[in-house]
Structure 1
Amino acid sequence: MPVFSIRRRSFLGLAASVITIVIITYLSAMPRLPNRPMEPHRGRTAPKPTQHTEETKKCQAGYYPSKNDCEPCPKDHFSLPGWISCTPYLKCDEIRSNIRRVRHLASGGVKHVYLAEWNSYSVALNEAHASKSDFAHDVAMLQMLTPHPRVNQPLGACGDLLVTQYHPLSSAEKINEVLGRDKYRKLDTVKTRFRLALDYVGVLDYLHGHSSLVMCDTNDLGKTLSQYLITEDLRLIVNDLDALPSAKDKGIKCGHRQIFGDFVAPEELWPYSNKPFEDEEMPGYNEKTDIWKIPRVVEFLLGGSEESLKVLENLKGIHSKCKEKDPKERPTAKEVLESYKSTWINF
C-alpha cells in the first residue's frame, strides 16, 4: 500500500476525532430546558410517571410539579396522580381505539358508567343513553371547572362518550360501608368524617362562586350523595354535573315536574295548595336551596359516634341558619365553610 494513502487515512481519523470532541463539548455547554407541561400532540401513549426524588413534589391529578409547588394543567390537558407532566385531552380516535371496557359500574338517568382501561390505567367511561343535552352539559361543566381538587377530572370526550378519572371507592352514600372495611376501619374517626363535611361544603362554595351554579339533582339524601365520589385518600369530589344551572341572572327551576318531600328547600315546593301544579306558574329560586340541604348531608357524613354528636351539637347554630324558611336569611356556602373551620378549631 502506498505511504501517502496510509498518511491520508491517519489524518482523516485524527480530524474526525477532533470534530467529535468539539461537538460533545458544545452540547455539554448548552443550557438545560426547564420542566414544562407536555405540548399538545396526537396519537400518543400515556406518559409514565417517573421516580420522584425528594426535590420533586408529587402532585394530585390535574396538576404537575414546578419548582416550588404544584401547578394546574393547562386548559384542555390532564394528568393522573404521580405524573410529572400534563397531556392533552383524549380525542375521538384515541377514545374509540384505545379504551377497553372492563365491566359495568352504574347507570343513572343520563348515562351508563363503565370501568375501562387506557394504556394500563384504570379509567371511567361514561356513555350517554338519554338526554344528550344533559350529558353535553355535564362534559362542559367538568371541563370548565377543572382542574380543581374537589372536582373529578375529565380525560377526554367524544360525542356520547366521556372519559374521567376512576375512583374505586364509589359514591358518598357508601361512606359507612367504606369506613367499615378492614383497610379503613382505623381511619373511621371524627377527623376523617369532618374533613368530608368540609369537602362537601367546599364544593358548594366553589360552584356558587361560578355564576351561582346550583346542584339540581338533589331531591333526596341518597340522590345528593350519589353526585359525589370518595377518593382513595378519603376525600370527597363532585362528579355528576349534568343538572347544574346558573342562577346568576334569574331564578332557576330544577326540572319541570312537581317536587315533594322535606329534604328539599321550601321554595322548591309548589306554593299554591288550592290548584294543581303548573310548571309555567312555578316560581324560580337560587343557590340557597343547596344551603338548606347542608345539615342533613353533614349529619350523614359525620355518622353517629359520640365525638361526631358533639361536633353536631357545636354546629347547631349555623345549621339552624341554613334552615331559615326565607332563602335570603340563610348564610352563603362560604359563610358556612368559615363557620365549620372555626367550630373545628374550637372543638
Structure 2
Amino acid sequence: MEMPYIVSRRNLTCLRVIGIITVIYLATSPLYQSNIISNLLHKSHEGNDVITEEQNLYDHHHTKNRIQSGMEIFKEQKTQKELSIRTQQDAVSDHKLNKTVKGIPPVPADLKMMLGKILRRGFLDDREESCEKGFYILNGMSKCEPWLSCEEMNNGKILRKMKKIGGGVGKLVYSGLLYDKFSVAIAYSRRPGNPRLGERVRVGNENLMKFQPSPYVLQVVGHCLQGPNSTLITESCSQCTDLRRVRKRSKLGFSKFDDKQKFEWLIKIVGGFDLLHHAMGLPMVHCDLHTPDEFLTQYVLMEDNQIVMSDLDELPQVDVHNNVFASCKEETDGVMKSPEFIAPEQRYSEHDYELDVSRKPITEKADIWKIPDIASLIMRGSPLEQTIERKMDYIHSQCKSEDPKLRPTARAILIEYLQFYKSSFW
C-alpha cells in the first residue's frame, strides 16, 4: 500500500512546480515574483523527505530557467548587463586622469589638474570632456558622432580608401577620407585566412576599443567584423606617423621638438603604462616592446603634437593571486636584438628558443624596466637630458632592479615625472 502513496507525492511535487511556473508568468513585478518563488519553493519541500538532493537541484534549476524566460526578468538581466558594461567603461574613464585605484597611490589633486591639461587634445577647444564610448569627434567636427557601422564603412560615399601608409605582419593600413573632409586611417587584416594572424588583429582591434575613450590611445571612429576580417577606422591626419619614422626623417631625431613637448610625451608614455596596468582590474603587459625601435612604432604623433598608443595587439593579463602570468611572444627567429632593453626575467637564449621555453612568465613590472631607456631615447640631445637623469636617478635605479617586486609602479613614476614637470615647465 506504500506505492500509491509515493506516486501521489511525486505527482504532488510536479503540480507544485507547475503552480510555481504559472504564478511566475502571471506576476508582473520582479520583486513580487521573487517573494512568491521563495515561499512556494519553501512550502513544496516541507515534509517531503522522499525527494532526493538531485531532485531538489533539478527543481531549482528547472524553475530558474523558467523564471529567466519571463519578460520582466529578461529586462532586469539586460539592465544588469548594461550596468556591468558601464562599470568597465567607468574603469577606463577613471584612468583618463589616472584616478585612485585600490592599493595604488592617487595622483595629488594639483598634479591631476596639470595632467588633465597635458593630456587635452588640441582640437577639443573648450569642450570639457571627450566623447562617450561608442562615439568619436574629429578635428573640425562640432559634436560627437556614433562609431561607423559595417554598412557605413562599405559605403563609398561615406568612406573612401586612399593610399597605403603602413602596416605590419598582420594588417595593412591605408589613409582614408570620411565624408570627403576628415582624415582617417583604415586598418585591414592582411591575411584574414590565417587563423593566428587574423585572431591577433581581431584581438588588437578589440583591445583598442576596450580602452575607449582615453587620451592615451588612438581614437576609434568605426569597427567592422565580418567573418575573419576585422577592419578598424581610427583618427588620423595627413602628417600623422609613428615616432620611429619621425626620428628617422630628421638628422636631429627628436631635437626639433622642445624639451617641454618631449617631456609631455614621457608623461603620456608612463601614463599609458599606468592605464594598461590598472584600468582593467588585472594588470596587462605590453608585449610588443622588444626593442627601442619597436617601442617607437607603437606611438603615433598627431597633428596637435600629441602622441597616442596605436598598437595594442598583444596585452596578456596577470593574476598573481591565481598564479597566472603573462607570456610574450619571442622575436623573429628567437634572437634578441636588444636584450638589455628587455627585463632580465624575460630574456632567453637561442637554446631556450630551441627547447620552446623562451616564452617566460612575467608580470607588468617587465614594462617598468624599459622606462629609463625610453626616457633616454626621447630626451637624447636635449639641454635638460642630464638634469632629468640626475633628478630621476633614484626612481630610474629602482626601475632597473633585478627583482621585479622591487621596481616601482607606473603610477609612482608618473607622479615623479609630474612633479619634475611642475617645477621645470609649469
* Partner in structure 2 of residue 244 of structure 1: 315
Q: Does 1:123 align with 2:177?
A: no
Alpha-carbon separation, structure 1, partners of 2:261 and 2:353: 46
* Partner in structure 2 of residue 142 of structure 1: 208
Give the unaligned 5+ runs of structure 2. 1-119, 192-196
- Helix, strand or coil: the match of 1:279? coil
* Partner in structure 2 of residue 87 of structure 1: 145
Q: 1:282 to 1:195 in 2, by over 3 A?
A: closer
* Partner in structure 2 of residue 157 of structure 1: 223
* Partner in structure 2 of residue 50 of structure 1: none
Q: Does 1:306 align with 2:367?
A: no
What is the deviation of 1:310?
1.9
Alpha-carbon separation, structure 2, partners of 1:178 and 1:195: 21
Q: Does 1:108 align with 2:168?
A: yes
Q: 1:71 to 1:190 in 2, by over 3 A?
A: closer
* Partner in structure 2 of residue 263 of structure 1: 341
Contact 1:156 1:163 in 2 (8 A): yes
- Helix, strand or coil: the match of 1:285? coil
- Helix, strand or coil: the match of 1:331? coil
- Helix, strand or coil: the match of 2:340? coil
What is the deviation of 1:125?
0.5
* Partner in structure 2 of residue 37 of structure 1: none
What is the deviation of 1:70?
2.1
What is the deviation of 1:316?
1.6
Give the unaligned 5+ runs of structure 1. 1-58
Contact 2:218 2:234 in 1 (8 A): yes
Q: 1:87 to 1:212 in 2, by over 3 A?
A: same
* Partner in structure 2 of residue 224 of structure 1: 295
Q: Does 1:343 align with 2:343?
A: no
Query: Match of 1:242, as an amino acid?
Result: D
* Partner in structure 2 of residue 12 of structure 1: none
- Number of matched residues? 282
329, 335, 340: which one aligns with 2:406 = 329
* Partner in structure 1 of residue 372 of structure 2: 295
Question: What TM-score comes out, normalization by structure 1 length?
Answer: 0.73
201, 214, 225: which one aligns with 2:285 = 214
* Partner in structure 2 of residue 204 of structure 1: 273
Contact 2:283 2:317 in 1 (8 A): yes
What is the deviation of 1:219?
0.5
Contact 2:138 2:182 in 1 (8 A): no
Greater mean alpha carbon deviation, residues 127-136 or residues 172-181: 172-181
What is the deviation of 1:266?
0.8
235, 252, 257: which one aligns with 1:188 = 257
- Helix, strand or coil: the match of 2:172? strand
What is the deviation of 1:283?
3.7
229, 236, 239: which one aligns with 1:166 = 236
- Helix, strand or coil: the match of 2:141? coil
What is the deviation of 1:275?
6.5
Query: Match of 2:327, as an amino acid?
Result: K
* Partner in structure 1 of residue 57 of structure 2: none
Q: 1:230 to 1:88 in 2, by over 3 A?
A: same
Q: 1:240 to 1:61 in 2, by over 3 A?
A: farther
Query: Match of 1:101, as an amino acid?
Result: K
Contact 2:330 2:358 in 1 (8 A): no
Larger fraction in helix = 2
Give deviations 1:267-300, integer Å, cap 9, x for gaps: 11138x9866433585411111110111111111
Q: 1:136 to 1:329 in 2, by over 3 A?
A: same
390, 397, 419: which one aligns with 1:320 = 397
Q: 1:282 to 1:199 in 2, by over 3 A?
A: closer
Contact 2:328 2:360 in 1 (8 A): no
Alpha-carbon separation, structure 2, partners of 1:105 and 1:282: 32
Give deviations 1:305-344, integer Å, cap 9, x for gaps: 2322222222221111111111101001001111112233
Question: What TM-score comes out, normalization by structure 2 length?
Answer: 0.61
Greater mean alpha carbon deviation, residues 94-103 or residues 317-326: 94-103
Query: Match of 1:135, as an amino acid?
Result: V
Give deviations 1:184-207, integer Å, cap 9, x for gaps: 98x722111111111111111111
What is the deviation of 1:178?
7.0
**Aligned residues: percent identity?**
27
Alpha-carbon separation, structure 2, partners of 1:146 and 1:64: 20
Alpha-carbon separation, structure 1, partners of 2:304 and 2:420: 23
Query: Match of 1:162, as an amino acid?
Result: L
- Helix, strand or coil: the match of 1:116? strand
Contact 1:146 1:153 in 2 (8 A): yes
Query: Match of 2:243, as an amino acid?
Result: A
- Helix, strand or coil: the match of 1:70? coil
* Partner in structure 2 of residue 77 of structure 1: 135
Greater mean alpha carbon deviation, residues 120-129 or residues 311-320: 311-320
Contact 2:121 2:306 in 1 (8 A): no
Q: Does 1:284 align with 2:284?
A: no
